[in-house]
Amino acid sequence: MDTTGPARIITGYSATQLRVGEQVVTTSAIVTAQLVLPWAVATFADLTPTALDPALALDIEVLLLATGEQQLWPSAAVFAHAARRRIGLEVMTLSAACRTFNVLVGDRRPVALAALLGTAG
């Protein structure tokens, strides 16, 4: 994990990709100001409480869950799993989550974006 360089921000997005700085990501991913991690959640149906564990293990206060072009609500168990870790879980469309991520990173807030890419649900 590179934590010495400038913060990574989302510089572009579509339903099938994210651009984080100059890096293009084409599969679901977890993004923080310091790193980009592949995320093994390919579809919304794969979203179980423990599927959030890679993001919840990071030093964050807020997790932005980007569910694609439509805002899809995970089960109450997913919210409870994040709450037990004292991490706020916000569910948004991909576009709203990318904008919010950039604002929070600019404010130096400990945030992660978990983005489902290329999925219709």
Q: What is the 3-state secondary structure (H, E, C) of the chain?
A: CCCCCCCCCEEEEECCEEEECCEEECCCEEECCCCEEECCCCCHHHCCHHHHHHHHCCCCCEEEEECCCCCCCCCHHHHHHHHHCCCEEEEECHHHHHHHHHHHHHCCCCEEEEECCCCCC
Quick check: 44 pLDDT over 50? yes
Q: Which pLDDT tens digit goes with each residue over 49-101?
A: 999 999 999 999 999 999 999 999 999 999 999 999 999 999 999 999 999 99
Quick check: 36 pLDDT over 60? yes
pLDDT confidence of residue 5: 54
Tell me how far apart the alpha carbons of residues 47 and 4 are, in angstroms, rounded to a whole number. 32
Tell me how far apart the alpha carbons of residues 27 and 46 are, in angstroms, rounded to a whole number. 14
Q: Which residue segments constitute the domains of the chain, with CATH numbers given? A: 10-115 (3.40.1230.10)
CB atoms within 10 A of CB 49: 17
For residue 93, CA distances in Å to 10, 54, 56, 70, 112 come to: 14, 20, 20, 6, 15
pLDDT confidence of residue 7: 79
Of the chain, the percentage scoring pLDDT greater than 90 comes to: 84
